[in-house]
C-alpha cells in the first residue's frame, strides 16, 4: 500500500520504533510539515503576489509568529509585516461611506478580530493534518506491515490518540475498529503506567530520603508528561 502520501507516515513510525526515541509519531509528522510551511512563508514564494495577498489578509497566529522570528530572517519577516500592517490598517479605517453611516466601530472590531483569529500557516496545515490522521488509520487497517510498526510505538499523545479513535470508529468496520482500539489502547496504557511512575519518582527525588537513589528515567519526566497530555516534540529531536 506504500504510495507517495504514505511514505512520510511509514518513516515517522519506523523512527518511533528506535531505541531512545520517545515522541508521538503524529506529532513528529506534524512538526516536520509545520517547519516546512514556516520556512516557505519567508522564502521565495513570499514575493509572489498571490501568496502575499493571502498573508496580508490572514496574518499569523502568535505561535507561528514566534516560529517565524526564530527563522532569523528579519528582513523577509519585516517585509511581510509591512504589507500585512498596511492591509490591516486599511481594513480598520474603512472607507468614507462606511464611516458616514456609522459603521466605523463595527469595521474596527471586525478587522481587529480577524488579525488574531486567522493564520496563513494554520489554514495551510489543517487539510494535511486531517489527512495524516486518516491515512494512519487506513494504513493500520489495510497494511499488515504497518500494523507491526503501529503496535511498537512508545505512545501517542492524547489529542492524536483521541482523533485516531474517533476517525477509526466512523470509518472502519466493526472488526477492524475493535482490533484498532485494542492495539492503540494497549500502546497508550503501557506508556500511561510508565509516565505516572516516572513523574512519581521525579517527585520523590526532591525528598532527602531518596537523595542517594538514581534518577532512572525520571529526569525529563515532567516534559514528557506534558507532551503526552498535550502533544509536541522534544526540542532536541526536531
pLDDT recorded at residue 90: 79
- What pLDDT, on a 0 to 100 scale, did the predictor assign at position 89? 81
* DSSP letters spanning 84-102: HHHHHHHHHH--HHHHHTT
CA distance to 72, 76, 174, per residue, from 89 (Å): 26, 20, 54
pLDDT confidence of residue 48: 84
| DSSP-derived secondary structure for 173-194 | -HHHHHHHHHHHHHHHHHHHHH
**Greater model confidence, 153 or 106:** 153
Q: Are 88 and 115 in contact (CB under 8 A)?
A: yes
Residue 108 reports pLDDT greater than 90:
no
The pLDDT of residue 236 is 64
Q: Is pLDDT at 152 greater than 90 in this prediction?
A: yes
pLDDT of residue 115: 52
- Buried/exposed 4-37: b ≥16 CB within 10 Å, e otherwise: eebeebbebbebbeeeeebbbbbbbbbbebbeeb
Taking residues 22-51, what's their average pLDDT? Answer: 90
Q: Per mean pLDDT, which range of 19-28, 135-144, 172-181 is the poorest?
A: 19-28
83-100 residue pLDDT tens: 989 888 877 766 544 554
Give kind and range of the element (H or E) at residue 47.
Answer: none
Taking only the tens place, the pLDDT of each residue in 188-223 is 999 999 999 999 999 999 999 999 999 999 999 999
User: How many CB atoms lie under 10 A from the CB of residue 150?
Assistant: 23
Residue 27 neighbours by CB under 8 Å, 6+ apart: 157, 160, 227, 231, 232, 233
The number of C-alpha atoms within 13 Å of 31 and in the hemisphere containing its C-beta is: 16
Per-residue pLDDT averaged across 54-70, rounded? 92
Statement: residue 14 has pLDDT above 70: yes
- pLDDT at position 169 is 97
Mean pLDDT for the chain overall = 88
CA–CA separation, 106 and 118 (whole Å): 18
What's the pLDDT at 163?
Answer: 96
Report yes or no: 38 and 71 within 8 Å, Cβ to Cβ. yes
Does residue 148 carry a pLDDT above 80?
yes
Its pTM stands at 0.82
Amino acid at each position: 500500500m506504500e504510495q507517495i502520501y504514505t511514505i512520510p507516515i511509514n518513516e515517522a513510525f519506523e523512527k518511533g520504533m528506535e531505541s531512545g526515541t520517545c515522541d508521538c509519531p503524529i506529532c513528529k509528522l506534524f512538526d516536520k510539515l509545520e517547519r516546512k510551511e514556516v520556512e516557505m512563508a519567508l522564502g521565495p514564494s513570499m514575493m509572489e503576489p498571490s501568496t502575499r495577498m493571502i498573508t496580508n489578509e490572514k496574518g499569523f497566529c502568535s505561535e507561528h509568529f514566534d516560529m517565524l522570528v526564530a527563522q532569523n530572517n528579519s528582513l523577509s519577516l519585516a517585509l511581510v509585516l509591512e504589507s500585512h500592517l498596511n492591509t490591516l490598517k486599511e481594513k480598520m479605517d474603512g472607507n468614507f461611506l462606511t464611516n458616514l453611516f456609522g459603521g466605523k466601530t463595527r469595521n474596527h472590531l471586525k478587522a481587529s478580530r480577524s488579525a488574531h483569529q486567522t493564520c496563513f500557516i494554520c489554514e495551510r496545515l489543517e487539510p494535511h493534518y486531517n489527512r495524516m490522521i486518516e491515512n494512519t488509520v487506513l494504513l493500520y487497517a489495510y497494511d499488515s506491515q504497518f500494523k507491526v510498526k503501529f503496535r511498537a510505538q512508545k505512545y501517542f499523545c492524547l489529542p492524536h490518540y483521541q482523533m485516531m479513535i474517533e476517525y477509526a470508529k466512523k470509518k472502519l468496520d466493526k472488526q477492524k475498529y475493535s482490533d484498532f482500539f485494542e492495539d492503540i489502547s494497549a500502546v497508550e496504557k503501557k506508556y500511561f503506567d510508565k509516565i505516572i511512575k516516572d513523574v512519581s519518582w521525579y517527585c520523590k527525588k526532591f525528598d532527602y530520603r531518596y537523595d542517594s537513589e538514581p534518577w532512572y528515567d525520571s529526569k525529563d519526566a515532567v516534559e514528557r508528561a506534558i507532551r503526552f497530555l498535550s502533544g509536541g516534540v522534544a526540542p532536541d529531536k526536531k
